[in-house]
Amino acid sequence: MKKVVQVILIGGLVLLFSEFRPAEKKWEKPFSRLDREIRQNSKAYATLGEATKTIGHRLTGSTNGEKAEEYAFKLLRSYGFTDVVYQPFEVEAWMRDTVTLSIAPGSSDNFRDVPVVSLAHSPVESNLQGEIVDVGNGLEEDFIALKEKVKGKIAMANINLVGVTGKKNLHRSEKTALAIKYGAKGMIMVNGAPGKILLTGTASVTGAIISIPAVCISNESGFEIRKWIKDEGPLEAHIDMHNIAKPIKARNVIATLKGKSDEKVIIGGHLDSWDLATGAIDNGIGSFAVMDVARAFRTLKVKPERTIQFVLFMGEEQGLLGSKHFVSELKKSGNIDKVSYMMNLDMTNDPKGANTFGRDEMSEFFANVGQAIHAVDNEYKNETANRAGLHSDHQPFMLEGIPIAGLSGHLDPGVLQCYHADCDDFSLVNKDQLENTVRIASMYLYALSNTENIAVKKLSDQKTREFLIAQGLKEELVIGQEWRWE
């Protein structure tokens, strides 16, 4: 039967619908079994609820982080995995202690306290006073325009892009790296979420302690400070910061489902979280979905063609530390070439499609698999995106040329506002949407681990360089000190 592919463009997303070749019918039975098993027996919502209640946050290097590692290990063992291991690695753990920010007009000693949180990997001790220079969105062009004013001052920048279109934003750590590059002695980040929400996260592109203090204030405080500058002129800021940094050991948790070959498909999500809340969304919904996919595969006694590794990474929030170590160990052991695909679930919720991460050759495969999923679940939209990005645990794999898969989902704006904030708790988790993530991820994973041929291969070093440039990622990687090519 000749296959017909129909391509429809809606809102920048490509929707592909195709008739099945007879061979493609093979997905319908296993997909139906996975769909039925997860709808009836999913444990993702219950186990995430239990973990957030009994453990709390899952900060790497903390007692809670260690408890989370043990919880994941025992949970995977309870699902019938005999091959579950810890993969230890050493990191410099950063933990917040105290911080204050006070601001006054330049000609006054009448300082006013502003609610603030430290950004991770700020110095252990800092007592700094200096003039605030507003660098707007904190892109390099903004720093260049004010480079004579920024040097020796405290830069203030938006975390989100404000007032511009068609620009690519930078990560907060990259904006802080630019502040250091252009001579600022402190950094104030303005949260994009409306109201008084405070956001944390790393300000370091490498995971090492940075040379200047970096803090985050709320959107409301940022608006007030900017109005104050407009009405009264230059402002002085005083940052008094105390943090803790010490070397510790953390552990990735790995469960292996052996296939008929030693070729590997890896599905992972970061287990760690920040410490302001329980990290139910970032990344409880991703990591506990990974474990529930593992449970479903074991329950159904799936025997994949390729070996599957289910990986819970620690240290993602501090700079992808666990996934970098995982990839480093693959390279040391000579097994990096055996990894045919990596699927990453980071804040993935209620997927409506797949992202092929810039590998055009896989668009047809993912569209056909998505069509098979749609046959099982007619609410699945099968929207196929094809764009690569950074700043999650897929990145170390992608930098080695390994193909990446992601799922395109949806989180309500009220949930996204709590990203890295003190409101990221279990009340935000939608049970049905979480179980949808498990169902859809399980079907794509099944197809990737069982299809006869995968159309893409690991890229050579030179082809990886060309791919990253074509995807527009070079600038970010250079700022992040991850660009290894000339």
CB 175 within 8 A of CB 189: yes
Contact 313, 323 (CB under 8 A): yes
187 touches 216 (CB < 8 A): no
Calpha distance 414→372 (Å, rounded): 32
Q: Distance (Å, rounded) from C-alpha 366 to C-alpha 16?
A: 9
Q: Which CATH architecture has domain 24-83+258-479?
A: 3-Layer(aba) Sandwich (3.40)
Q: Name the fold adopted by 93-247.
A: Glucose Oxidase; domain 1 (3.50.30)
Whether residue 127 has a cis bond before it, omega within 30° of 0: no
Per DSSP, 163 falls in state: S
Closest to 208 in 3D by CA, of 139, 123, 311, 275: 123
pTM of the model: 0.93
What are the counts of helices (DSSP H) followed by strands (DSSP E) for the chain? 15, 16
DSSP 426: G
Neighbours of 63 (CB within 10 A): 10
DSSP 107-141: T----EEE--EEPBT--SEEEEEEEEEE-TT--HH
- Tens place of pLDDT for every residue, the chain, 486 residues? 334 444 444 444 454 444 445 446 889 999 999 999 999 999 999 999 999 999 999 999 999 999 999 999 999 999 999 999 999 999 878 999 999 999 999 878 889 999 999 999 999 999 999 999 999 999 999 999 999 999 999 999 999 999 999 999 999 999 999 999 999 999 999 999 999 999 999 999 998 999 999 999 999 999 999 999 999 899 999 999 999 999 989 999 999 999 999 999 999 999 999 999 999 999 999 999 999 999 999 999 999 999 999 999 999 999 999 999 999 999 999 999 999 999 999 999 999 999 999 999 999 999 999 999 999 999 999 998 999 999 999 999 999 999 999 999 999 999 999 999 999 999 999 999 999 999 999 999 999 999 999 999 999 999 999 999 999 999 999 999 999 998
Rounded Cα distance between 425 and 275, Å, is 11
Q: Scan for tokens 């810890």, then name that residue.
A: 86
3-state secondary structure of 98: strand
Q: Which helix (H) or strand (E) holds 239?
A: strand 235-257
Per-residue pLDDT, 465 = 98
| Separation of CA 471 from chain center | 18
Identify the burial level of 370 via C-beta atoms within 10 angstroms of its C-beta, where 0-12 means exposed, 13-18 middle and 19 or more buried: buried
The domain locations on the chain are 24-83+258-479, 93-247
Return d(Cα 153, Cα 239) in angstroms, integer. 12
The whole-number pLDDT of residue 20 equals: 44
